[in-house]
């Protein structure tokens, strides 16, 4: 379930991506934070030594960027009324703070607040630094990189009961290095849920089910508590918190990070890991920084085909991989198919239509509708001639966003798939990125999305048909309860019940 979100996702804590392609225009979206969230990443990152002087030219560029953001939202927001918000008054209130800013970070914080007044996801400011090529050859040259600790070795060291790693010097956490650890928040604890094959974490012997209690001397439970209190009612709380913790694990390739764990014996242990390149293939798209995309396809022992995608990008490679997985399922006469979108923050929206086409054979079906000021656009399914017609399970959780939600909600409404896991992030607004005068990137929503049945996913999320939570005991035993539940349903669902033999209406379908 490893998402390996790109470094700009870590900068904004929850910048999930989604998109669609229409009339040659690239549209994507990210879940930008709501009230108060704009300071959880950009403002809490370490201040680098030798901070550059903030000049009058810098301030002029930031003022121009502020005006650009305000004007763009005024002219292009899908809701011309801004939900009743007095947009000119917001400008008059916040602009003086940009004029009085003493750094780009301060000015950026004001712009974050400006867009978050809208109270919607997929609005955010991505710092220009997120686009810097900072991982060439895996050599660390930034003087903010962590100094070697007293303990070293790829496998880490075990410390005395109750001890914790010592605080380390400030480290730039915005690089493309990875520990290979994926995590979720479980009962105020950060729990390892997956370890990437061949990663530093796997080499160090870290296992799913371990609990993370400290990172570079920082108290992880305290971070979780603060984040939990900040978003009491948000459907994206799970995403916010997990990304806040995961962001502390990031850095440049070659950096080291000290992580305190509670292992399977409930003993405290510290591991020192050297960050390695992220899993997957580099992909570049539009105004986005480098992304890493990977798929995993395997036939489970129960004769069920399993397919995992971490992010909806690199359509040519991903669609080819899905096609091969479907072919393998057909060759082996698989009893069912599982698509795992847990931790998948979204990506190119049109890919949801292509995904659905492998499993929906009827024509004139859609996954939902995108509404803009200029009109509407349907997410039409593109049926394949030799798709898979057996039982289909889709796995989701609180870190599944945007395109993942569009696919899951659409397939659920069409009654073509059964959803397992936990409620999704509730962040499904299509958006786009533009470059600001100060070279930061501005992400803004240009449309609203509703599912086939008319459900609004934004702020609500998609509820699974069968709620199944990950638990530590199962992970420590080498089991994934969400996959187990999906397999159990597939094995009990007669394959003929999902065969589509006619063209149902948009609110009907072959019921699993």
pLDDT for the residue numbered 131: 56
**Mean pLDDT, residues 283-312:** 89
Q: Is the pTM of this model over 0.85?
A: no
CB-based contact 425:235 (threshold 8 Å): yes
Q: Which two tokens stand for residue 47?
A: 């201040």
pLDDT score for 157: 36
Query: Chain-wide mean pLDDT for the chain?
Result: 80
Residue-wise DSSP of 235-260: TTHHHHHHHHHHHTT-B-TT-EEEEE
Residue 25's pLDDT is what? 28
Task: Give the chain's end-to-end CA distance (angstroms, integer).
Answer: 25
Contact (CB, 8 A) for 310 and 2 = yes
Q: Which of 292, 333, 299, 332 lies closest to 314 in space, CA to CA?
A: 292
Task: Please name the helix (run of DSSP H) or strand (run of DSSP E) that holds residue 450, with its range, or none.
Answer: strand 448-451
How far is Cα 3 from Cα 9, in angstroms, rounded to an integer? 11
10-58 pLDDT, tens digit each:
333 333 333 333 222 233 434 433 333 333 333 333 444 566 799 999 9
Which whole number is the average pLDDT over 193-208? 96
Average pLDDT in the 476-492 region? 97
User: pLDDT at position 314, please?
Assistant: 93
Q: What value does the mean pLDDT take over residues 342-347?
A: 93
pLDDT higher than threshold 80 for residue 117: yes
The per-residue pLDDT for 439 is: 92
Contact yes or no for 98/110 (Cβ under 8 A): yes
Summarize the confidence of residues 411-428 as an average pLDDT: 94
How many CA atoms lie within 13 Å of 41's alpha carbon, on the beta-carbon side? 33
Q: What is the pLDDT of residue 18?
A: 34
Distance in angstroms (rounded) separating the CA atoms of residues 141 and 420: 44
Three-state secondary-structure class, residue 86: coil
* Average pLDDT score over residue span 211-232: 87
52 Cβ contact list (under 8 Å, min separation 6): none
Among 5-9, 93-97, 120-124, 308-312, the range scoring the smallest mean pLDDT is 5-9
Higher pLDDT, 159 or 346: 346
- pLDDT tier for residue 496 given thresholds of 50, 70 and 90: low
Residue 511 has pLDDT above 60, yes or no: no
Query: How sure is the predictor about 353, in pLDDT bands with cuts at 50, 70 and 90?
Result: very high
Lowest mean pLDDT among 12-26, 183-197, 230-244: 12-26
What pLDDT is attached to residue 44? 38
**Which whole number is the average pLDDT over 469-480?**
96
Whether 139 shows a pLDDT value over 50: the answer reads no
Residue 146, pLDDT above cutoff 80: no
DSSP 3-state percent helix, strand, coil across the chain (nearest 5): 30, 25, 50
Closest C-alpha among 431, 456, 434, 459 to residue 445:
431
pLDDT exceeds 60 at position 169 = no
Question: 287 near 305, Cβ under 8 Å?
Answer: no
Answer for the pair 395, 342: CB distance below 8 angstroms, yes or no.
Answer: yes
- Residues of the chain above pLDDT 70, percent: 76
Beta bridge partners of 378: 369
**Res 288: pLDDT:** 66
Q: DSSP class of residue 61?
A: H
Check residue 172 and give its pLDDT: 64
Rounded Cα distance, 460 and 450, in Å: 11
Contact 26, 286 (CB under 8 A): yes
Contacts of the segment 149-152: beta carbons below 8 A, 24+ positions apart: 149/256, 149/258, 149/272, 151/258, 151/270, 151/272, 152/256, 152/272
Distance between CA atoms of residues 114 and 74, nearest Å: 12
Identify the three-state secondary structure at position 480.
coil
Give the percent of the chain with pLDDT over 90: 53
Look at residue 235 and tell me whether its pLDDT is greater than 80: no
């Amino acid at each position: 379930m490893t998402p390996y979100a790109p470094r700009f996702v870590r900068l904004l804590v929850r910048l999930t991506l989604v998109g669609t392609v229409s009339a040659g225009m690239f549209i994507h979206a990210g879940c930008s934070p709501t009230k108060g969230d704009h300071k959880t990443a950009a403002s809490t990152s370490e201040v680098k030594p030798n901070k550059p002087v903030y000049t009058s030219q810098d301030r002029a560029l930031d003022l121009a960027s502020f005006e650009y953001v305000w004007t763009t939202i005024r002219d292009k927001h899908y809701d011309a009324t801004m939900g009743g918000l007095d947009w000119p008054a917001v400008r008059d209130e916040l602009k003086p703070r940009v004029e009085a800013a003493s750094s780009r970070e301060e000015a950026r914080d004001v712009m974050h607040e400006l867009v978050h007044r809208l109270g919607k996801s997929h609005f955010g400011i991505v710092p220009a630094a997120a686009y810097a090529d900072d991982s060439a050859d895996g050599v660390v040259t930034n003087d903010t990189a962590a100094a070697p600790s007293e303990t070293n070795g790829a496998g880490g060291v075990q410390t005395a009961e109750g001890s914790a790693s010592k605080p380390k010097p400030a480290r730039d956490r915005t690089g493309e290095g990875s520990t290979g650890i994926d995590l979720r928040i479980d009962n105020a604890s950060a729990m390892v849920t997956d370890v990437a094959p061949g990663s530093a974490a796997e080499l160090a012997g870290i296992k799913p089910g371990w609990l993370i209690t400290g990172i570079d001397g920082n108290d992880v439970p305290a971070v979780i508590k603060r984040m939990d209190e900040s978003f009491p009612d948000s459907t994206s709380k799970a995403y916010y918190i997990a990304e806040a913790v995961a962001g502390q694990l990031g850095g440049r390739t070659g950096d080291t990070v000290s992580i305190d764990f509670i292992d399977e014996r409930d003993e405290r242990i510290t591991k020192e890991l050297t960050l390695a390149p992220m899993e997957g293939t580099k992909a570049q798209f539009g105004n986005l920084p480098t992304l890493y995309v990977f798929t995993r396809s395997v036939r489970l022992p129960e004769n069920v085909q399993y397919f995992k995608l971490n992010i909806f990008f690199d359509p040519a490679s991903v669609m080819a991989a899905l096609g091969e997985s479907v072919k393998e399922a057909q060759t082996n006469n698989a009893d069912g198919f599982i698509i795992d979108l847990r931790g998948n923050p979204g990506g190119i929206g049109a890919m949801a239509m292509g995904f659905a086409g492998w499993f929906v054979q009827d024509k004139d079906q859609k996954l939902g509708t995108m509404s803009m000021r200029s009109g509407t656009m349907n997410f039409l399914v593109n049926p394949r001639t030799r798709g898979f017609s057996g039982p289909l399970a889709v796995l989701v959780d609180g870190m599944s966003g945007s395109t993942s939600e569009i696919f899951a909600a659409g397939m659920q409404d069409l009654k073509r798939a059964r959803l397992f896991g936990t409620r999704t992030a509730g962040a499904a607004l299509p958006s786009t990125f533009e470059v600001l005068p100060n070279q930061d990137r501005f992400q803004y929503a240009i449309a609203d999305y509703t599912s086939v049945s008319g459900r609004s996913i934004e702020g609500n999320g998609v509820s699974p048909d069968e709620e199944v939570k990950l638990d530590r005991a199962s992970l420590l035993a080498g089991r994934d309860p969400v996959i187990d539940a999906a397999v159990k349903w597939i094995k009990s669902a007669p394959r003929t019940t999902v065969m589509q033999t006619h063209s149902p209406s948009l609110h009907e379908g072959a019921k699993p």
